[in-house]
Structure 1
Amino acid sequence: MALVYSCCFWFSLRLGGIIIALFSIVQALIVLTISCIGNSNPKKVEEKITLWVNDMNLIFTKEFVDNLRNDPTKILGFVIALTCIYIIICMLYVYGAYKCNSILMMAYIVVELVRLIALTVLVIALLLTLKKNTMDIGLLIGASVLGGFILLGMFYLWVCAANLPIVINEKEHDEYVATITKLQQLLEEKKPKTLIGFDYVPQSKYNEALYREHIHRFK
């Protein structure tokens, strides 16, 4: 059973799913652009990360940041490859939503869930790092609320995208049941009726005689 039947209380799930996938492609293109720029200028990336390491307490993210600083080309190249694969998966979802093909949409649903979980972990890590490096409680509260609302909205969009295949399957099932029911009705209409052991065909003089002959048994 689907949890939602419309996207943002306005769009149909089909149109909403296409828009959500296109929005994911835009996000991926932004990440891809930043990664390509960083990959083409590894020295600048290394210098920027060095400033972060020297000026901030990165707590448990320090190991990852050090690995990125030591070999930015390798990690950024990996990010570029993953982003390109993600864009292809988003395009498959768009095509699957357009054609109402549930199979083509499953990869995006799974990958997007993994991405949102990773983003949740990243937001938590950034908030903990901010807490460790600032005494401004207002900034921390504002960042926490903003990050929470963004994640909540993205999870809601994922729910809408994930429910589209369910709605399509429900519709196909309803159409299948309606077709079977219609066929059964047609068969019942064409099936000859039986009266007191004889086939009764309307407007048949023979059967009318049989009816008159045996009707007294039921009086």
Structure 2
Amino acid sequence: MEQIQALIVLTISCVGYSNPKNIEEKITFWVNDLNLIFTKEFVNNLRSDPTKTLGLIILLTCIYIIICMMYVYGAYKCNNVLMMPYIVAELVRLIAFTVLVITLLLTLKKNTMDIGLLIGASVLGGFILLGMFYLWVCAANLPIVINEKEHDEYVATITKLEELLQETKPKTLIGFDYVPRSNYNEALYSKHIHRFQ
């Protein structure tokens, strides 16, 4: 799911990077027609040099896609180290996405009087964020499940080895562990054989 989102962002960024004049025109339209309360400075920076901002977005998206592939490979190999970068990067992305959704909702509130549209956008944004955080929690719990599984396997292996050692441990008639046959052993055996008769 996250890789599909990253590919969509990458495609849009590449198209915008190849047509910077078109991006400047659209941003100018937004600045002139909309009340951009918290994003005005960012939008003006984007309008002044869209290729720089879009290039940074393309770079970060490519790194994110590589981190997603590392997570998939780490999940396949049950390697927690390969999964940790994705968990951290996804949490940062979700926090940034939450800030973006809140900013867009506040901008929408300043620019429209339609309460139905505002409620619908709030509910949709809330459900999208809830679903994305749920998927992140599932992904973050996979290393914990792998650790518990490995711990259970270690305990089972140790228990099995202990049972095998108990089964194969040789005993003598007098209860001592096995030692090589010698005259001393013969004397001990003769001395204590009457206990078992």
TM over 0.5, shorter chain: yes
Per-residue CA distance 1:145-186 (angstroms, 9 max, x = gap)? 100000000000011111111111111111001111111122
1:117 and 2:95 are equivalent in the alignment? yes
Partner of 1:190: 168
Per-residue CA distance 1:91-145 (angstroms, 9 max, x = gap)? 1111111111111111111101100010000000000000111111111111001
Unaligned runs of 5+ in 2: 178-189
AA partner of residue 55 (structure 2): G
* Alpha-carbon distance between aligned partners in 1 of 2:163 and 2:193, rounded to the nearest angstrom: 25
The alignment partner of 1:60 has SS state of coil
* Alpha-carbon distance between aligned partners in 2 of 1:191 and 1:131, rounded to the nearest angstrom: 79
The alignment partner of 1:57 has SS state of coil
Partner of 1:131: 109
Misfit runs of 4+, over 6 Å: none
* Alpha-carbon distance between aligned partners in 2 of 1:185 and 1:176, rounded to the nearest angstrom: 14
The 1:105–1:194 alpha-carbon spacing in structure 2 relative to 1, beyond 3 Å, is same
Partner of 2:181: none
The alignment partner of 1:59 has SS state of coil
Partner of 1:27: 5
**Conserved 8 A contact 1:192-1:199:** no
- Greater RCO, 1 or 2 (C-alpha within 8 Å, sep 6+): 1
The alignment partner of 1:29 has SS state of helix
Partner of 2:56: 78
Aligned-CA RMSD value: 2.1
The alignment partner of 1:58 has SS state of coil
What's the CA shift for 1:82?
Answer: 0.5
- Paired residue total: 185
1:179 and 2:154 are equivalent in the alignment? no
What's the CA shift for 1:200?
Answer: 7.3
Q: Point out the structure with max Rg over C-alpha.
A: 2
* Alpha-carbon distance between aligned partners in 2 of 1:188 and 1:105, rounded to the nearest angstrom: 40
- Tell me the TM-score normalised to structure 2 length: 0.87
User: Which of 20, 23, 31 is 1:53 aligned to?
Assistant: 31
Unaligned runs of 5+ in 1: 1-22, 213-219
The share of aligned pairs that are identical, in percent, is 79
What's the CA shift for 1:209?
Answer: 5.2
AA partner of residue 59 (structure 1): I
- Tell me the TM-score normalised to structure 1 length: 0.79
Considering fraction of residues, name the structure with more strand. Answer: 1
**Conserved 8 A contact 1:192-1:200:** no
